[in-house]
Structure 1
């Protein structure tokens, strides 16, 4: 897990500081959190490949947190992006972004998928086999969420000594790492706890 602070200053940009934007690298994902002005330049400076960004999370609709988003989307288009882009943010974000793109005759040539948020309760808004993202409702002048990024538990680690002791065939290894017990030819069932060790502790 690695966090890049692209910007964390107040609403007015400074020569050496930028409005809010962060990149979180976790389990082979590159997540962009907020997209204030200057985000594209900061991505370049930190040598983060634009094509790896597939999910963008916008906390709220104050300009210093999303005014860089239309420009970033337009740049994706100019670079010939084809992969879909998922954007999570407050209700109204889709209207704001799509209006600018249409007025500028720069509609995307890739799928642009908005996930608009309005719930004031914590919700899971993204999850795959490795990472889960939950909202954290916050008290602000407008509807606002923080985001909790959590690694999901990985496969259990194979206990090679135990596997050798019970003469377990390799064909069972994948099932064992997924938590399954093994039944020997003699009918004896070997508990998964005897054959595996806990995976590394998940981070969030």
Structure 2
């Protein structure tokens, strides 16, 4: 039967393994027949969507960067602290010199900087300090940034790190995945980005 014959009014081949004139690769299903979900196609990286896991470093599709150790995390936090010291100095000078406008400007800069840092951490995985030392906050399952909402939840979850004599802040020093308690709750990790 040919494609234009009256017995085949839709112009499709009767043999689904035949395809539409394209040669079929051995071991692959015919045209129009999806492969089983979760099974990567032969000879390449699985496409996004259609039942395949997202591309990332999990499930063997790429190499996971090394975890950022406690020292790198501490340096990133120290740089972020120093960045916030500048507007706090404006607040202190404004309060000491009885210049309320300078103190108000300092407070506004602190709030704006905190919001901007949160947005950048959610979208790119890096604050100013994390970028300076070459580390990145990502989802453990996908290796992608957390998103602004989840980065905010992680910041709130840091109260867990302060419980029991601040042991959660030191936990990355000996944890296998170098996670704080907040990272464990939010399923996030901090990795070396360069």
TM-score by length of 1: 0.19
When you count strand as a share of all residues, which structure comes out higher? 1
- Rg (Cα) greater in structure: 2
TM-score norm. by structure 2 comes to 0.19
Relative contact order, higher structure (CA 8 A, sep 6+) = 2
